[in-house]
Structure 1
């Protein structure tokens, strides 16, 4: 009888361990898109000059508004078939067809008169000054700085003054 109870106890422990591993695996899977298997959330940009933002992931859903800025950075928060749920820097969003989006990384400047520096150093010479709301192409990012291209100008900007890149993101 003691041997039988020992086997049951071992079986219960093994089942609990397997259940825990399955829970960990599904939690990790939740961080990736079901369609693309790419990380969620992630940043993309508008490929089109205009894009309908719908209430749900299909053409039958109502259009809530229209994004009207090419290269605007957006954050994908969910995927469903050919549709991506996106948010802009103000937290507004909805469902957009994937063909309107690009993997090209852009950011929005969130400080008025932000200096682009020649090196990732606040004391470095200023290459240009960007206004609040300017969209720039994202290049390399180091722990606190990102290389940007905007309006023919290039330089380093403090990551904390940009929307479209995470604080811990390193981009080469």
Structure 2
């Protein structure tokens, strides 16, 4: 099931414009995969994948509570990519490429992944071991959510409601190509 977002349209005030300018300045050079991860204000690498901690997470236009809510996530556990940090706020990107700011306590270091959310009308094989020749134990629909148990750079072991197996890493949103996860 894809993430539900409720979009709110509001005009930008001068504080919003300044916050967006600050966010844009902070984003220079942080494209995922294009640059090595650097420590953020939290001391953790940026960019990095995390997951949503709660069923309701407000995503704001800028890094403070005075900023308008751009949309609301309604599903805990969804993977998002932290692309910047500002004090206790994290700029995140979701599987659709939408970006906004969330308060740090709404995020978890628990690694999750969506199975090929970009596919339409196809399934992704879940294999019994980390090998392209391994037996297919299930076929997962796009956007199935799983917990990442481990990745070796080519395959990730993921578990979820009624499944446990290996998916090719390039078929997941929530891990970087070639990333190793223990």
TM-score, scaled to structure 2: 0.75
CA-atom RMSD, angstroms? 1.7
Match of 1:33 in 2: 40
Structure 2 unaligned spans of 5+? 1-34
Cα distance in 2, alignment partners of residues 113 and 120 from structure 1: 18
Question: Following superposition of structure 1 onto structure 2, how do residues 6-45 of structure 1 map, counting pairs within 5 Å?
Answer: 31-34=38-41, 36-45=42-51
Cα distance in 2, alignment partners of residues 161 and 169 from structure 1: 13
TM-score, scaled to structure 1: 0.79
1:37, CA displacement in angstroms? 1.0
Does 2:145 align with 1:139? no
Does 2:172 align with 1:154? no
Question: Following superposition of structure 1 onto structure 2, how do residues 105-124 of structure 1 map, counting pairs within 5 Å?
Answer: 105-110=111-116, 111=119, 112-124=122-134
Residues 20-76 of structure 1, C-alpha deviations (whole Å, 9 max, x = no match)? xxxxxxxx9x82102x11110000000100111101111101111111121100000
Residues 74-123 of structure 1, C-alpha deviations (whole Å, 9 max, x = no match)? 00011112211100012102010111111100011014321111111122
1:143, CA displacement in angstroms? 2.2
Does 2:89 align with 1:79? no
Does 2:180 align with 1:170? yes
1:139, CA displacement in angstroms? 1.1
Structure 1 runs of 4+ with >3 Å offset: none
> After alignment, is 104-113 or 50-59 more displaced?
104-113
**Secondary structure in structure 2 of the residue aligned to 1:160:** helix
Tell me the matched-pair count.
Answer: 144
Cα distance in 1, alignment partners of residues 99 and 162 from structure 2: 30
Cα distance in 2, alignment partners of residues 42 and 160 from structure 1: 16
Rg comparison, structure with higher value = 1
Cα distance in 2, alignment partners of residues 85 and 33 from structure 1: 11
**Secondary structure in structure 1 of the residue aligned to 2:147:** strand
Structure 1 unaligned spans of 5+? 1-27
Does 2:138 align with 1:128? yes
1:171, CA displacement in angstroms? 1.0
